[in-house]
Protein backbone atom coordinates (compact mmCIF):
# COMPACT_ATOMS: atom_id res chain seq x y z
CA UNK A 1 0.00 0.00 0.00
CA UNK A 2 1.31 3.49 -0.78
CA UNK A 3 1.61 6.02 2.02
CA UNK A 4 -1.02 8.19 0.35
CA UNK A 5 -3.47 5.28 0.32
CA UNK A 6 -2.70 4.57 3.98
CA UNK A 7 -3.40 8.13 5.08
CA UNK A 8 -6.66 8.20 3.08
CA UNK A 9 -7.81 5.00 4.79
CA UNK A 10 -6.65 6.39 8.14
CA UNK A 11 -8.73 9.53 7.63
CA UNK A 12 -11.79 7.45 6.71
CA UNK A 13 -11.36 5.43 9.87
CA UNK A 14 -10.96 8.56 12.02
CA UNK A 15 -14.10 10.10 10.48
CA UNK A 16 -16.10 6.92 11.03
CA UNK A 17 -14.88 6.66 14.62
CA UNK A 18 -15.71 10.26 15.41
CA UNK A 19 -19.09 9.85 13.73
CA UNK A 20 -19.74 6.99 16.11
CA UNK A 21 -18.62 9.19 19.03
CA UNK A 22 -15.82 6.85 20.06
CA UNK A 23 -12.40 7.69 21.43
CA UNK A 24 -9.31 6.01 19.99
CA UNK A 25 -9.16 3.93 23.17
CA UNK A 26 -12.70 2.68 22.72
CA UNK A 27 -11.97 1.59 19.15
CA UNK A 28 -8.71 -0.01 20.33
CA UNK A 29 -10.63 -1.99 22.93
CA UNK A 30 -13.17 -3.20 20.38
CA UNK A 31 -10.32 -4.36 18.15
CA UNK A 32 -8.21 -5.82 20.90
CA UNK A 33 -5.34 -3.50 20.13
CA UNK A 34 -3.73 -0.45 21.74
CA UNK A 35 -4.74 3.19 21.52
CA UNK A 36 -1.32 3.99 20.07
CA UNK A 37 -1.88 1.45 17.26
CA UNK A 38 -5.22 3.11 16.41
CA UNK A 39 -3.49 6.48 16.46
CA UNK A 40 -0.85 5.23 14.02
CA UNK A 41 -3.50 3.73 11.73
CA UNK A 42 -5.49 6.97 11.66
CA UNK A 43 -2.38 8.99 10.84
CA UNK A 44 -1.51 6.61 8.00
CA UNK A 45 1.68 5.56 9.75
CA UNK A 46 0.88 1.89 10.01
CA UNK A 47 0.59 -0.80 7.36
CA UNK A 48 -2.90 -2.13 7.65
CA UNK A 49 -4.19 -5.45 6.32
CA UNK A 50 -7.54 -5.90 4.61
CA UNK A 51 -8.42 -8.13 7.52
CA UNK A 52 -7.90 -5.23 9.94
CA UNK A 53 -9.82 -2.81 7.72
CA UNK A 54 -12.69 -5.30 7.69
CA UNK A 55 -12.62 -5.62 11.48
CA UNK A 56 -12.59 -1.85 11.91
CA UNK A 57 -15.51 -1.59 9.50
CA UNK A 58 -17.41 -4.12 11.52
CA UNK A 59 -16.61 -2.48 14.86
CA UNK A 60 -17.63 0.97 13.63
CA UNK A 61 -20.53 -0.29 11.55
CA UNK A 62 -19.26 1.92 8.75
CA UNK A 63 -20.14 1.54 5.07
CA UNK A 64 -16.92 3.01 3.72
CA UNK A 65 -14.37 0.92 5.53
CA UNK A 66 -16.53 -2.19 5.48
CA UNK A 67 -15.70 -2.43 1.75
CA UNK A 68 -12.88 -4.85 2.51
CA UNK A 69 -15.31 -7.14 4.23
CA UNK A 70 -17.30 -7.83 1.10
CA UNK A 71 -15.78 -11.10 0.02
CA UNK A 72 -14.16 -14.23 1.33
CA UNK A 73 -10.43 -14.34 1.96
CA UNK A 74 -8.08 -16.11 -0.47
CA UNK A 75 -4.36 -16.90 -0.48
CA UNK A 76 -1.85 -16.54 -3.29
CA UNK A 77 1.17 -18.75 -2.69
CA UNK A 78 4.51 -18.54 -4.44
CA UNK A 79 5.85 -22.02 -3.81
CA UNK A 80 9.09 -23.91 -4.10
CA UNK A 81 10.76 -21.84 -1.41
CA UNK A 82 12.70 -23.22 1.55
CA UNK A 83 11.68 -22.23 5.05
CA UNK A 84 14.23 -21.36 7.71
CA UNK A 85 14.61 -20.02 11.21
CA UNK A 86 12.23 -20.59 14.09
CA UNK A 87 8.52 -20.27 14.76
CA UNK A 88 6.46 -20.48 17.95
CA UNK A 89 3.42 -22.71 18.34
CA UNK A 90 0.31 -20.81 19.49
CA UNK A 91 -2.23 -21.93 22.07
CA UNK A 92 -4.72 -24.52 20.92
CA UNK A 93 -8.10 -23.82 19.38
CA UNK A 94 -9.58 -26.82 21.10
CA UNK A 95 -8.48 -25.87 24.62
CA UNK A 96 -9.38 -22.20 24.11
CA UNK A 97 -12.96 -22.95 23.05
CA UNK A 98 -13.45 -25.41 25.92
CA UNK A 99 -12.11 -22.86 28.42
CA UNK A 100 -14.38 -20.14 27.05
CA UNK A 101 -17.37 -22.42 27.60
CA UNK A 102 -16.02 -23.25 31.06
CA UNK A 103 -16.05 -19.57 32.05
CA UNK A 104 -19.84 -19.93 32.24
CA UNK A 105 -19.27 -21.96 35.43
CA UNK A 106 -17.67 -19.01 37.18
CA UNK A 107 -19.42 -15.97 38.65
CA UNK A 108 -16.02 -14.29 38.98
CA UNK A 109 -13.67 -12.80 36.40
CA UNK A 110 -11.63 -15.17 34.23
CA UNK A 111 -8.46 -14.06 32.49
CA UNK A 112 -7.17 -16.37 29.79
CA UNK A 113 -3.62 -15.70 28.59
CA UNK A 114 -2.42 -15.71 24.99
CA UNK A 115 -5.73 -16.96 23.61
CA UNK A 116 -5.45 -17.89 19.93
CA UNK A 117 -6.95 -15.12 17.77
CA UNK A 118 -8.83 -17.42 15.46
CA UNK A 119 -12.29 -17.45 13.92
CA UNK A 120 -13.48 -20.31 16.11
CA UNK A 121 -12.68 -18.25 19.21
CA UNK A 122 -14.35 -15.18 17.66
CA UNK A 123 -17.55 -17.16 17.06
CA UNK A 124 -17.70 -18.31 20.68
CA UNK A 125 -16.98 -14.75 21.84
CA UNK A 126 -19.84 -13.51 19.66
CA UNK A 127 -22.15 -16.08 21.20
CA UNK A 128 -21.01 -15.25 24.74
CA UNK A 129 -21.33 -11.51 24.07
CA UNK A 130 -24.86 -11.92 22.70
CA UNK A 131 -26.08 -13.64 25.89
CA UNK A 132 -24.64 -10.94 28.15
CA UNK A 133 -21.10 -12.14 28.96
CA UNK A 134 -18.62 -9.27 28.93
CA UNK A 135 -15.44 -10.21 27.08
CA UNK A 136 -12.57 -7.96 26.13
CA UNK A 137 -9.06 -8.33 24.81
CA UNK A 138 -6.49 -6.84 27.16
CA UNK A 139 -2.70 -6.38 27.24
CA UNK A 140 -2.45 -5.24 23.63
CA UNK A 141 -4.83 -7.94 22.45
CA UNK A 142 -2.81 -10.81 23.89
CA UNK A 143 -5.13 -11.92 26.68
CA UNK A 144 -8.85 -12.22 27.20
CA UNK A 145 -10.93 -11.12 30.15
CA UNK A 146 -14.35 -12.71 30.63
CA UNK A 147 -17.01 -11.58 33.12
CA UNK A 148 -20.38 -13.35 33.05
CA UNK A 149 -23.51 -11.42 34.07
CA UNK A 150 -25.69 -12.45 37.01
CA UNK A 151 -28.35 -13.65 34.56
CA UNK A 152 -27.72 -14.90 31.04
CA UNK A 153 -30.07 -13.84 28.26
CA UNK A 154 -30.15 -16.98 26.13
CA UNK A 155 -33.06 -15.75 24.02
CA UNK A 156 -30.74 -13.05 22.65
CA UNK A 157 -28.18 -15.62 21.48
CA UNK A 158 -26.43 -14.93 18.18
CA UNK A 159 -27.58 -18.18 16.60
CA UNK A 160 -25.78 -17.51 13.34
CA UNK A 161 -22.41 -17.43 15.12
CA UNK A 162 -23.40 -20.42 17.26
CA UNK A 163 -24.24 -22.54 14.23
CA UNK A 164 -20.82 -21.93 12.68
CA UNK A 165 -19.05 -23.78 15.49
CA UNK A 166 -19.50 -27.19 17.01
CA UNK A 167 -18.05 -26.07 20.34
CA UNK A 168 -21.31 -24.43 21.40
CA UNK A 169 -22.40 -27.93 22.41
CA UNK A 170 -20.14 -27.40 25.44
CA UNK A 171 -22.60 -24.80 26.76
CA UNK A 172 -24.82 -27.70 27.87
CA UNK A 173 -22.64 -28.77 30.82
CA UNK A 174 -22.35 -25.31 32.46
CA UNK A 175 -25.86 -24.14 31.55
CA UNK A 176 -27.65 -27.03 33.19
CA UNK A 177 -26.57 -25.55 36.52
CA UNK A 178 -27.84 -22.07 35.69
CA UNK A 179 -31.35 -22.66 34.37
CA UNK A 180 -34.06 -25.29 34.28
CA UNK A 181 -35.03 -24.76 30.66
CA UNK A 182 -32.98 -23.41 27.79
CA UNK A 183 -32.28 -23.91 24.11
CA UNK A 184 -29.15 -23.73 22.04
CA UNK A 185 -28.76 -24.17 18.26
CA UNK A 186 -27.47 -27.36 16.64
CA UNK A 187 -23.69 -27.56 16.69
CA UNK A 188 -21.83 -26.87 13.42
CA UNK A 189 -18.09 -27.01 12.65
CA UNK A 190 -16.12 -28.55 9.78
CA UNK A 191 -17.96 -30.55 7.15
CA UNK A 192 -16.58 -33.94 8.11
CA UNK A 193 -19.68 -36.07 7.66
CA UNK A 194 -22.02 -37.14 10.43
CA UNK A 195 -20.81 -36.25 13.93
CA UNK A 196 -23.24 -37.48 16.50
CA UNK A 197 -24.05 -35.58 19.70
CA UNK A 198 -25.73 -38.60 21.25
CA UNK A 199 -22.74 -39.35 23.52
CA UNK A 200 -23.16 -35.83 25.00
CA UNK A 201 -26.77 -36.55 25.86
CA UNK A 202 -25.85 -39.87 27.46
CA UNK A 203 -23.12 -38.19 29.52
CA UNK A 204 -25.37 -35.39 30.76
CA UNK A 205 -28.55 -37.37 31.45
CA UNK A 206 -27.27 -38.45 34.91
CA UNK A 207 -27.28 -34.72 35.81
CA UNK A 208 -30.98 -34.51 34.96
CA UNK A 209 -30.57 -33.03 31.45
CA UNK A 210 -33.15 -34.08 28.88
CA UNK A 211 -32.83 -32.75 25.35
CA UNK A 212 -35.22 -32.85 22.43
CA UNK A 213 -33.88 -31.69 19.10
CA UNK A 214 -36.37 -29.89 16.86
CA UNK A 215 -36.33 -26.89 14.49
CA UNK A 216 -32.55 -26.66 14.52
CA UNK A 217 -32.44 -26.26 18.30
CA UNK A 218 -31.65 -28.46 21.29
CA UNK A 219 -34.50 -27.85 23.72
CA UNK A 220 -33.13 -28.66 27.15
CA UNK A 221 -34.91 -29.33 30.40
CA UNK A 222 -33.23 -30.08 33.73
CA UNK A 223 -34.80 -32.31 36.35
CA UNK A 224 -33.19 -31.17 39.63
CA UNK A 225 -34.18 -34.36 41.44
CA UNK A 226 -31.75 -36.36 39.28
CA UNK A 227 -28.04 -36.66 40.17
CA UNK A 228 -25.36 -39.19 39.25
CA UNK A 229 -25.65 -42.29 41.44
CA UNK A 230 -22.82 -44.26 39.86
CA UNK A 231 -19.88 -43.71 37.54
CA UNK A 232 -20.72 -42.05 34.23
CA UNK A 233 -19.47 -44.32 31.46
CA UNK A 234 -18.96 -42.47 28.20
CA UNK A 235 -20.06 -44.42 25.14
CA UNK A 236 -17.23 -42.82 23.12
CA UNK A 237 -13.87 -41.55 24.30
CA UNK A 238 -14.54 -38.21 22.64
CA UNK A 239 -12.85 -34.95 23.60
CA UNK A 240 -15.78 -32.54 23.79
CA UNK A 241 -18.06 -35.15 25.36
CA UNK A 242 -15.51 -35.66 28.13
CA UNK A 243 -15.31 -31.89 28.53
CA UNK A 244 -19.08 -31.59 28.74
CA UNK A 245 -19.21 -34.27 31.45
CA UNK A 246 -16.41 -32.44 33.32
CA UNK A 247 -18.25 -29.12 33.05
CA UNK A 248 -21.44 -30.65 34.43
CA UNK A 249 -19.56 -32.44 37.21
CA UNK A 250 -17.65 -29.26 38.17
CA UNK A 251 -20.73 -27.64 39.73
CA UNK A 252 -22.38 -30.85 40.89
CA UNK A 253 -22.18 -30.78 44.66
CA UNK A 254 -20.57 -34.18 45.15
CA UNK A 255 -18.09 -36.56 43.60
CA UNK A 256 -18.55 -37.66 39.98
CA UNK A 257 -16.54 -40.44 38.38
CA UNK A 258 -16.21 -40.33 34.58
CA UNK A 259 -14.99 -43.49 32.86
CA UNK A 260 -13.77 -43.95 29.29
CA UNK A 261 -12.77 -40.28 29.45
CA UNK A 262 -10.52 -38.77 26.80
CA UNK A 263 -7.14 -37.79 28.22
CA UNK A 264 -6.28 -35.63 25.24
CA UNK A 265 -4.57 -32.24 25.47
CA UNK A 266 -7.66 -30.02 25.57
CA UNK A 267 -9.23 -32.17 28.27
CA UNK A 268 -6.08 -31.85 30.37
CA UNK A 269 -6.06 -28.08 29.92
CA UNK A 270 -9.70 -27.97 31.04
CA UNK A 271 -8.91 -30.08 34.13
CA UNK A 272 -6.06 -27.72 35.09
CA UNK A 273 -8.43 -24.76 34.67
CA UNK A 274 -11.11 -26.43 36.79
CA UNK A 275 -8.52 -26.86 39.51
CA UNK A 276 -7.97 -23.08 39.42
CA UNK A 277 -11.71 -22.73 39.98
CA UNK A 278 -11.42 -24.87 43.10
CA UNK A 279 -12.70 -28.09 41.54
CA UNK A 280 -10.46 -31.03 42.35
CA UNK A 281 -9.94 -33.47 39.48
CA UNK A 282 -8.16 -36.76 40.05
CA UNK A 283 -6.82 -38.95 37.26
CA UNK A 284 -5.81 -36.19 34.81
CA UNK A 285 -4.09 -37.91 31.89
CA UNK A 286 -5.98 -41.18 32.43
CA UNK A 287 -9.33 -42.51 31.24
CA UNK A 288 -10.96 -42.30 34.68
CA UNK A 289 -11.57 -38.82 36.04
CA UNK A 290 -12.88 -38.21 39.55
CA UNK A 291 -14.34 -34.75 39.96
CA UNK A 292 -15.02 -33.14 43.33
CA UNK A 293 -17.61 -30.57 42.33
CA UNK A 294 -18.39 -27.22 43.96
CA UNK A 295 -21.99 -25.95 43.89
CA UNK A 296 -21.06 -22.28 43.55
CA UNK A 297 -17.92 -21.00 41.87
CA UNK A 298 -17.06 -17.35 42.28
CA UNK A 299 -13.35 -16.75 41.83
CA UNK A 300 -11.21 -14.32 39.90
CA UNK A 301 -8.87 -16.67 38.05
CA UNK A 302 -6.03 -16.38 35.63
CA UNK A 303 -5.09 -19.28 33.36
CA UNK A 304 -2.76 -19.91 30.42
CA UNK A 305 -3.96 -22.54 27.96
CA UNK A 306 -1.21 -24.66 26.49
CA UNK A 307 0.24 -24.87 23.01
CA UNK A 308 -1.48 -26.65 20.14
CA UNK A 309 -0.03 -30.05 19.21
CA UNK A 310 -1.88 -29.98 15.90
CA UNK A 311 -0.37 -26.63 14.97
CA UNK A 312 3.03 -28.09 15.93
CA UNK A 313 2.36 -31.03 13.59
CA UNK A 314 1.28 -28.62 10.83
CA UNK A 315 4.53 -26.67 11.10
CA UNK A 316 6.54 -29.87 11.19
CA UNK A 317 4.78 -31.04 8.02
CA UNK A 318 5.50 -27.65 6.43
CA UNK A 319 9.23 -28.17 7.07
CA UNK A 320 9.18 -31.75 5.77
CA UNK A 321 7.43 -31.10 2.51
CA UNK A 322 9.37 -27.94 1.69
CA UNK A 323 12.61 -29.83 2.55
CA UNK A 324 13.59 -27.16 5.05
CA UNK A 325 15.51 -26.90 8.26
CA UNK A 326 13.14 -25.33 10.76
CA UNK A 327 12.94 -24.96 14.52
CA UNK A 328 9.46 -25.25 15.95
CA UNK A 329 9.39 -23.76 19.43
CA UNK A 330 6.97 -24.57 22.26
CA UNK A 331 5.93 -28.03 21.02
CA UNK A 332 3.73 -29.87 23.56
CA UNK A 333 5.77 -33.02 23.10
CA UNK A 334 3.65 -35.42 25.13
CA UNK A 335 0.91 -34.98 22.56
CA UNK A 336 3.19 -35.54 19.57
CA UNK A 337 5.28 -38.43 20.82
CA UNK A 338 3.77 -41.17 18.68
CA UNK A 339 3.75 -38.99 15.59
CA UNK A 340 7.46 -38.31 16.16
CA UNK A 341 8.19 -42.00 16.73
CA UNK A 342 6.54 -42.88 13.40
CA UNK A 343 8.36 -40.07 11.61
CA UNK A 344 11.62 -41.23 13.10
CA UNK A 345 10.96 -44.70 11.66
CA UNK A 346 10.33 -43.00 8.31
CA UNK A 347 13.78 -41.43 8.55
CA UNK A 348 13.05 -37.92 9.82
CA UNK A 349 16.19 -36.13 10.97
CA UNK A 350 15.19 -34.07 13.97
CA UNK A 351 16.49 -32.91 17.30
CA UNK A 352 14.64 -32.08 20.52
CA UNK A 353 15.85 -29.55 23.03
CA UNK A 354 15.43 -29.85 26.79
CA UNK A 355 11.90 -29.97 28.14
CA UNK A 356 10.40 -26.92 29.82
CA UNK A 357 7.00 -26.17 31.28
CA UNK A 358 4.21 -24.36 29.44
CA UNK A 359 2.74 -21.28 31.13
CA UNK A 360 0.09 -23.47 32.78
CA UNK A 361 3.02 -25.03 34.69
CA UNK A 362 1.91 -28.52 33.71
CA UNK A 363 2.25 -29.25 30.00
CA UNK A 364 5.75 -30.23 28.86
CA UNK A 365 7.20 -28.33 25.91
CA UNK A 366 10.29 -28.73 23.75
CA UNK A 367 11.86 -26.88 20.85
CA UNK A 368 12.12 -29.19 17.89
CA UNK A 369 14.48 -28.79 14.96
CA UNK A 370 13.57 -30.62 11.76
CA UNK A 371 16.11 -31.10 8.97
CA UNK A 372 15.70 -32.12 5.32
CA UNK A 373 15.51 -35.93 5.28
CA UNK A 374 15.15 -38.81 2.82
CA UNK A 375 11.87 -40.29 4.03
CA UNK A 376 10.63 -43.82 3.41
CA UNK A 377 6.95 -44.76 3.56
CA UNK A 378 6.08 -46.39 6.90
CA UNK A 379 5.69 -50.17 6.86
CA UNK A 380 2.41 -50.11 8.76
CA UNK A 381 -0.68 -48.09 8.03
CA UNK A 382 -1.20 -44.69 9.64
CA UNK A 383 -4.35 -44.63 11.71
CA UNK A 384 -5.55 -42.45 14.56
CA UNK A 385 -6.49 -43.50 18.06
CA UNK A 386 -7.83 -41.56 21.05
CA UNK A 387 -4.85 -40.21 23.04
CA UNK A 388 -2.29 -41.68 23.44
CA UNK A 389 -2.26 -42.57 19.77
CA UNK A 390 -1.74 -40.63 16.57
CA UNK A 391 -4.00 -37.62 17.02
CA UNK A 392 -7.06 -37.78 14.79
CA UNK A 393 -6.43 -34.22 13.62
CA UNK A 394 -2.82 -35.01 12.72
CA UNK A 395 -3.68 -37.77 10.27
CA UNK A 396 -4.17 -35.44 7.26
CA UNK A 397 -0.61 -34.13 7.74
CA UNK A 398 0.69 -37.65 7.32
CA UNK A 399 -0.85 -37.66 3.83
CA UNK A 400 1.31 -34.70 2.81
CA UNK A 401 4.38 -36.20 4.45
CA UNK A 402 3.68 -39.59 2.83
CA UNK A 403 3.48 -37.84 -0.52
CA UNK A 404 7.02 -36.57 0.07
CA UNK A 405 8.31 -40.03 1.13
CA UNK A 406 9.54 -42.87 -1.08
CA UNK A 407 7.00 -45.70 -1.37
CA UNK A 408 3.33 -46.21 -0.64
CA UNK A 409 1.56 -45.34 2.59
CA UNK A 410 -1.87 -46.53 3.62
CA UNK A 411 -3.79 -43.96 5.63
CA UNK A 412 -6.90 -45.13 7.43
CA UNK A 413 -9.04 -42.35 8.92
CA UNK A 414 -11.75 -44.44 10.56
CA UNK A 415 -13.01 -41.43 12.46
CA UNK A 416 -14.50 -39.05 9.94
CA UNK A 417 -16.68 -39.97 6.97
CA UNK A 418 -15.38 -37.21 4.71
CA UNK A 419 -11.93 -36.22 5.77
CA UNK A 420 -9.92 -38.85 3.83
CA UNK A 421 -11.83 -37.94 0.67
CA UNK A 422 -10.55 -34.36 0.85
CA UNK A 423 -6.98 -35.65 0.81
CA UNK A 424 -7.40 -36.54 -2.88
CA UNK A 425 -7.37 -32.76 -3.47
CA UNK A 426 -3.60 -33.11 -3.21
CA UNK A 427 -3.68 -34.80 -6.63
CA UNK A 428 -4.38 -31.43 -8.21
CA UNK A 429 -0.97 -30.39 -6.93
CA UNK A 430 0.77 -33.43 -8.38
CA UNK A 431 0.36 -36.01 -5.60
CA UNK A 432 -0.76 -39.60 -6.14
CA UNK A 433 -3.47 -40.18 -3.58
CA UNK A 434 -5.82 -43.04 -4.38
CA UNK A 435 -9.12 -43.27 -2.57
CA UNK A 436 -9.65 -46.93 -1.65
CA UNK A 437 -12.93 -46.29 0.19
CA UNK A 438 -14.34 -43.28 2.11
CA UNK A 439 -12.00 -43.93 5.02
CA UNK A 440 -8.77 -45.13 3.37
CA UNK A 441 -6.30 -43.59 0.95
CA UNK A 442 -3.10 -44.95 -0.54
CA UNK A 443 -0.41 -42.33 -1.06
CA UNK A 444 2.45 -42.97 -3.51
CA UNK A 445 5.55 -40.85 -3.12
CA UNK A 446 7.72 -39.01 -3.73
CA UNK A 447 5.82 -36.19 -5.42
CA UNK A 448 6.81 -33.55 -7.92
CA UNK A 449 4.54 -30.83 -6.67
CA UNK A 450 3.02 -28.47 -9.20
CA UNK A 451 1.07 -25.27 -8.66
CA UNK A 452 -2.72 -25.02 -9.01
CA UNK A 453 -5.65 -22.74 -8.35
CA UNK A 454 -8.36 -24.31 -6.25
CA UNK A 455 -11.08 -23.88 -3.65
CA UNK A 456 -10.30 -24.70 -0.05
CA UNK A 457 -11.68 -28.07 1.03
CA UNK A 458 -14.40 -27.36 3.63
CA UNK A 459 -12.42 -28.97 6.45
CA UNK A 460 -9.67 -27.34 8.49
CA UNK A 461 -6.82 -29.86 8.40
CA UNK A 462 -7.18 -30.98 4.77
CA UNK A 463 -7.28 -27.28 3.84
CA UNK A 464 -3.98 -26.64 5.63
CA UNK A 465 -2.47 -29.71 4.01
CA UNK A 466 -3.35 -28.28 0.58
CA UNK A 467 -1.75 -24.96 1.58
CA UNK A 468 1.45 -26.74 2.62
CA UNK A 469 1.57 -28.59 -0.71
CA UNK A 470 1.21 -25.23 -2.48
CA UNK A 471 4.21 -23.99 -0.50
CA UNK A 472 6.20 -26.93 -1.86
CA UNK A 473 4.99 -26.51 -5.46
CA UNK A 474 7.15 -24.24 -7.65
CA UNK A 475 5.14 -21.43 -9.24
CA UNK A 476 2.10 -19.52 -8.05
CA UNK A 477 -0.93 -21.27 -6.57
CA UNK A 478 -4.20 -19.81 -5.38
CA UNK A 479 -6.30 -21.18 -2.55
CA UNK A 480 -9.78 -19.70 -2.46
CA UNK A 481 -12.03 -19.09 0.52
CA UNK A 482 -9.80 -19.89 3.49
CA UNK A 483 -12.23 -19.12 6.33
CA UNK A 484 -11.91 -22.72 7.38
CA UNK A 485 -8.14 -22.30 7.92
CA UNK A 486 -8.65 -19.09 9.89
CA UNK A 487 -11.04 -21.04 12.09
CA UNK A 488 -8.09 -22.80 13.67
CA UNK A 489 -4.84 -20.94 12.88
CA UNK A 490 -3.86 -17.41 13.87
CA UNK A 491 -2.30 -15.30 11.09
CA UNK A 492 -0.99 -18.44 9.43
CA UNK A 493 0.07 -16.80 6.17
CA UNK A 494 1.90 -13.98 7.93
CA UNK A 495 3.63 -16.33 10.34
CA UNK A 496 4.72 -18.69 7.55
CA UNK A 497 6.05 -15.66 5.67
CA UNK A 498 8.18 -14.82 8.70
CA UNK A 499 10.06 -18.10 8.14
CA UNK A 500 10.48 -17.70 4.39
CA UNK A 501 7.15 -18.56 2.74
CA UNK A 502 5.63 -16.19 0.22
CA UNK A 503 1.89 -16.07 0.79
CA UNK A 504 -0.31 -13.10 0.03
CA UNK A 505 -3.81 -12.59 1.36
CA UNK A 506 -6.42 -11.06 -0.91
CA UNK A 507 -10.18 -10.67 -1.15
CA UNK A 508 -12.76 -10.12 -3.85
CA UNK A 509 -14.10 -6.67 -3.20
Question: Using the rule CB under 6 A, is 238 a contact of ligand UD1?
Answer: yes
- Residues 257/280, Cβ–Cβ less than 8 Å: no
CA 320 – CA 429 distance, rounded (Å): 16
> How many helical (H) and strand (E) elements, i.e. helices and strands, does the chain have?
18, 23
CA 219 – CA 186 distance, rounded (Å): 10
HSE of 183, CA atoms in CB hemisphere, 13 A: 14
Q: Please report the sign of the dihedral spanned by the C-alpha atoms of residue 25, residue 30, residue 33, residue 38.
A: negative
CA 6 – CA 10 distance, rounded (Å): 6
Stretch in the footprint of ligand PEP (CB under 6 A) among 77-85, 187-195, 421-429, 470-478? 187-195
- Among 24, 91, 167, 505, which residue interacts with ligand UD1 (rule: CB under 6 A)? 167
CA 188 – CA 483 distance, rounded (Å): 14
Stretch in the footprint of ligand UD1 (CB under 6 A) among 125-133, 231-239, 424-432, 468-476? 231-239
DSSP letters for 23-52 = -HHHHHHHHTS-HHHHHHHHTT-S---HHH
CA 165 – CA 394 distance, rounded (Å): 20
Nearest to 443 by CA among 459, 456, 457, 424: 424
Residue nearest to ligand PEP (CB): 189
> Which strands sit side by side in the sheet containing 143-147, from one edge to the other?
134-138, 143-147, 110-112, 301-303
Residue 386 interacts with which of ligand PEP, ligand UD1, none, CB < 5 to 8 Å by class: ligand UD1
Bridge partner residues of 411 (DSSP): 382, 441
Cβ at position 161, least distance to ligand UD1 in Å: 15
* 3-class SS of residue 132: coil
Cβ at position 187, least distance to ligand UD1 in Å: 8
Binding mask 187-206 for ligand UD1 (x = CB under 6 A): --------xx----------
Residue 238 interacts with which of ligand PEP, ligand UD1, none, CB < 5 to 8 Å by class: ligand UD1
Peptide bond into 43 cis (omega under 30): no
Question: Using the rule CB under 6 A, is 48 a contact of ligand PEP?
Answer: no
Q: Please report the sign of the dihedral spanned by the C-alpha atoms of residue 282, residue 285, residue 288, residue 289.
A: positive
Nearer CB in complex with ligand UD1: 32/462:
462
CA 203 – CA 165 distance, rounded (Å): 21
Question: Using the rule CB under 6 A, is 488 a contact of ligand PEP?
Answer: yes
Binding mask 392-431 for ligand UD1 (x = CB under 6 A): xx---------------------x----------------
- Among 17, 74, 123, 237, which residue interacts with ligand UD1 (rule: CB under 6 A)? 237
Nearer CB in complex with ligand UD1: 119/239:
239
Question: Using the rule CB under 6 A, is 334 a contact of ligand PEP?
Answer: no
Cβ at position 459, least distance to ligand UD1 in Å: 10
Q: Which residues within the stretch 451-470 sit at the binding site for ligand PEP (CB under 6 A)?
A: 460-461
Which contiguous run of DSSP H or E holds residue 274?
A: helix 265-276
For the packed helices 395-404 and 309-321, what is the interaxial angle rounded to 10 degrees? 10
- Among 16, 97, 279, 420, which residue interacts with ligand UD1 (rule: CB under 6 A)? 97
> β-strand 453-455 against 326-332: which pairing, if any?
unpaired
At residue 108, φ and ψ (nearest 5 deg) are -85, -175
Question: Using the rule CB under 6 A, is 288 a contact of ligand UD1?
Answer: no
- Among 31, 56, 152, 190, which residue interacts with ligand PEP (rule: CB under 6 A)? 190
Stretch in the footprint of ligand UD1 (CB under 6 A) among 57-65, 207-215, 236-244, 401-409? 236-244
First and final CA of the chain: distance in angstroms? 16
- Among 68, 79, 173, 189, which residue interacts with ligand PEP (rule: CB under 6 A)? 189
Residue 190 interacts with which of ligand UD1, ligand PEP, none, CB < 5 to 8 Å by class: ligand PEP
CA 289 – CA 109 distance, rounded (Å): 26
Nearest to 468 by CA among 331, 336, 335, 311: 311
Cβ at position 239, least distance to ligand PEP in Å: 8
Residue 488 interacts with which of ligand UD1, ligand PEP, none, CB < 5 to 8 Å by class: ligand PEP
Q: Which residues within the stretch 371-390 sit at the binding site for ligand UD1 (CB under 6 A)?
A: 386
Question: Using the rule CB under 6 A, is 270 a contact of ligand UD1?
Answer: no
Cβ at position 46, least distance to ligand UD1 in Å: 34
Question: Using the rule CB under 6 A, is 244 a contact of ligand UD1?
Answer: no
Cβ at position 112, least distance to ligand UD1 in Å: 16
Cβ at position 185, least distance to ligand PEP in Å: 15
- Among 393, 413, 425, 490, which residue interacts with ligand PEP (rule: CB under 6 A)? 393
Angle, vertex CA 116, rays to CA 16 and CA 302, nearest 5: 100
Residue 248 interacts with which of ligand UD1, ligand PEP, none, CB < 5 to 8 Å by class: none
Q: What is the DSSP letter of 90?
A: P
Question: Using the rule CB under 6 A, is 94 a contact of ligand UD1?
Answer: yes
Cβ at position 98, least distance to ligand UD1 in Å: 6
CA 475 – CA 348 distance, rounded (Å): 26
Query: What residue ranges bind ligand PEP (CB under 6 A)?
Result: 166, 189-190, 192, 393, 460-461, 488
Query: What residue ranges bind ligand UD1 (CB under 6 A)?
Result: 94, 97, 166-167, 195-196, 236-241, 266, 386, 392-393, 415
Amino acid sequence: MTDDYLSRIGKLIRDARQHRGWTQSQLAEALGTSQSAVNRIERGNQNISLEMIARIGEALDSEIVSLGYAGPMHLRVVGGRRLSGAIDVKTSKNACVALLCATLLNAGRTTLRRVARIEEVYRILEVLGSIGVRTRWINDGADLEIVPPAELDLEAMDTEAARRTRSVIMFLGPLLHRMDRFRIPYAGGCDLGTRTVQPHMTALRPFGLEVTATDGMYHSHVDRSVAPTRAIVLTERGDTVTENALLAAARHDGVTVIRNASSNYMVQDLCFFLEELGVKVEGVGTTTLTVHGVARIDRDVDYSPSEDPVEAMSLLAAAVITESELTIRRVPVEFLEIELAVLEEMGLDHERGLEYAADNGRTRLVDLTVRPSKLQAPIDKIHPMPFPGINIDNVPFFAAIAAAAQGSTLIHDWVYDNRAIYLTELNRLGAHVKLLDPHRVLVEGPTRWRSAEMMCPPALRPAVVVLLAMMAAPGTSVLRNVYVINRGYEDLAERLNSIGAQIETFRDI
